[in-house]
Structure 1
Amino acid sequence: MLSIYPAIFYKEKNGYSVIFPDLNYLSTCGENLNDAMEMAIDCLAGYLYTAKLDDDKLPTPSKIDDIHPIDIANTIGFDGKDSFINLISVDLEDYAKTHFNKSVKKTLTIPEWLNREATKKNINFSKVLQEALIAKLRSL
């Protein structure tokens, strides 16, 4: 099932900023229009996915005619002159299978002693690797 929300695209010196007024001014950006569109889809999917996990009620999407890009730009400190509204759609179930839930198998090598000690303590290697990778990515 498609979820569709309007987004405002603001042209800036170095690309586009994208804002979803119905979703607490959720925002993203892209270096060019194509990149901004891809990021908008990913941003919307992430928001919807998190809301679904948290059992949050989603707002009803606004009608395009009810959205005023310049007024919103003034509220958040943008120059809204070069802007447009576009509907962003995503099939959350399909998107999640590809981007959020899909696991990939990795083969790694560790010292035998480390494997033996971790196995004795019933350590979940996949979980530890995921946690370590997340921590590493956050620190970069």
Structure 2
Amino acid sequence: MKVTYPVIFTDVDTNILIEIPDLGILTEANEEGRPKGSIADAITMARDAIGLSCIEAEDDGKEVVHPSEIKDIDVSKGTFFEDGTGIVSLVDVDLSVYRRMLDNKMVRRNVTLPNWLNQEAEKSHINVSKVLQEALMARLGVSR
């Protein structure tokens, strides 16, 4: 499922302050070692915040909050309005892709192979787990 939320980005000194009104999220972007956070960093931070919030809601059995229309977001009512210059933009997240990116915990599966095939794989120094992962991703049409 793909979601798209309006986000308020407020340019303040060395930071870009980020507000996602529909989700009640406040965060910021400030790239270490640079005099100012970049908008690319801010979008990445917003995408992470949206992804985590929506996945948490799904995992808790709650509905993902329906996003507002961008035209309904008033920068002057934003939390950081008096701190700097704000703009509203849309940020999208593919929750299926985001979930796969976060969930890299390995699980042990018992696989049965003919002995001769296992011996051939060992002789060739083939990582059977890796081959199985690649084959499953190809068969399912998914990637990390």
Give the structure-1-normalised TM-score.
0.65
Partner of 2:12: 12
* Residue-by-residue CA offset, 1:8-28 (whole Å, 9 max, x unaligned): 00111112011111112x122
1:80–1:63 distance in 2 versus 1, CA, 3 Å: farther
Number of residue-to-residue matches in the alignment: 100
User: Residue 70 of structure 2 contacts residue 88 of structure 2 at CA under 8 Å; is this kept in 1?
Assistant: yes
* Residue-by-residue CA offset, 1:98-129 (whole Å, 9 max, x unaligned): 1x20137xxxxxxxxxxxxxxxxxxxxxxxxx
AA aligned to 1:30 is A
Q: Which segments of 5 or more consecutive residues in structure 1 lack a partner in the other structure?
A: 105-140
Partner of 2:104: 102
4+ residue runs of structure 1 moved beyond 3 angstroms?
A: none
Partner of 1:114: none
* Residue-by-residue CA offset, 1:42-97 (whole Å, 9 max, x unaligned): 1110001100111112222111111101122xxx3542651111111111111111
- Say which SS state the counterpart of residue 23 (structure 2) adopts: coil
Q: Describe how 1:40-119 pairs up with structure 2 within 5 A.
A: 40-72=46-78, 76=79, 78-79=81-82, 81-98=84-101, 100-103=102-105
Taking the aligned partners of 1:30 and 1:18, their CA distance within structure 2 comes to 8
Q: Which segments of 5 or more consecutive residues in structure 2 lack a partner in the other structure?
A: 31-37, 107-144
Taking the aligned partners of 2:7 and 2:80, their CA distance within structure 1 comes to 17
User: Residue 10 of structure 2 contacts residue 80 of structure 2 at CA under 8 Å; is this kept in 1?
Assistant: no
Partner of 2:27: 28
User: Residue 70 of structure 1 contacts residue 81 of structure 1 at CA under 8 Å; is this kept in 2?
Assistant: no
Identity %: 27
User: Residue 7 of structure 1 contacts residue 18 of structure 1 at CA under 8 Å; is this kept in 2?
Assistant: yes
How large is the RMSD of aligned CA atoms in angstroms?
1.9
Q: CA deviation at 1:30?
A: 0.7
AA aligned to 2:88 is I
User: Residue 4 of structure 2 contacts residue 91 of structure 2 at CA under 8 Å; is this kept in 1?
Assistant: yes
1:85–1:12 distance in 2 versus 1, CA, 3 Å: same
User: Residue 12 of structure 2 contacts residue 84 of structure 2 at CA under 8 Å; is this kept in 1?
Assistant: no
